[in-house]
Structure 1
Amino acid sequence: MQVNRSDTDLQLPAHEKSAWYLVQCKSRQDERAEENLTRQGYKCARPLCRRERVVRGMRTTSQESLFPGYLFIYLPDSANWAPLRSTRGVNRLVSFGGKPLAVKQELVTRLQNRIEDIKPAFVVGERVRILEGGLGALDAIFMSADGEERVILLISLLHRQQTVSMPLMNVSAF
């Protein structure tokens, strides 16, 4: 997991209480919001995860937000919330009854320390559909990857279970 921190973390007096708060970002702009808030000197945390996807028949790994559309911001209780509302990419501070609700430090710490998992494009046992070829439009069960560009599937053909290997680009999630 990657968490961005500003080099100029907020310097708070010893008597000032601070907490993490949840920021709702505009649609698909959580990275932009984090960048702009960090540039303004705020301490932010946007947990990331790696995800494997199939793009044009090739498996690719990309990083994306663990919680798309949200990030955490560390602020003192007496902070001026007004600059947050006009920050590009920020929609609002999540609040209840008109008051921003603090997120427990333990939760943010656990998210910061979690192990980053790669979520595979297909999971063993997942139902998939064959798109092209002689077996096109048949449903199958994903068994395993066979290199970078091929998969092994289990299909039911003539009342018998058969394993077949085919190009990854010919398979899609059900």
Structure 2
Amino acid sequence: MTSISPLLLATEGFSLNTNIFDTNIINLIIVIVVLVWFLKGFLGGILERRREAILADLKDAEERLLIASKALEEGQLELAQAQATAQKILSDGKKRAMAIREDSEMRTIQEMARIRQDAVANLSAETARVVELLRLETARFAVEKAIAALPGKLNASIQAKLIDRSIEALG
């Protein structure tokens, strides 16, 4: 504490110097006014240009935001339309596939029925052909048997009667 006391004694207390020339208040006021006047134009211009640049950037950003918002809305609308179109194409494709499948099934059934009818017709024709062959074979066999049996059963008088009847039948 002893080192602070001599310092306080040397200054003789605290007081305000009101002498304008001694304190350079006029010089300070002049310097401050000149600085404010010169810096107002210089700093004010810089600040004004900066303010205008910031406002221009904000305006540009707002315009780009509006354009992007409109593009987003259009994109969402186009997406919705594309999804609706895709859904319609898918639905139409399913319907078409179902119609093709049903048509194919109907054609298969009809073809199977036609094949069955052809098989039945072929079977009937084959049956008739076999029956005709059997009838012809039976008739041929009967004629051969009759011809083989005739010589032993025909005598001269029976042969003469048979010839007379054949001549009468022709005449």
TM-score tier (shorter): under 0.3
The structure with the largest strand share of the pair is: 1
TM-score with structure 2 setting the length: 0.16
* Greater length-normalized contact order (CA 8 Å, ≥ 6 residues apart): 1
TM-score with structure 1 setting the length: 0.16
The structure with the largest helix share of the pair is: 2
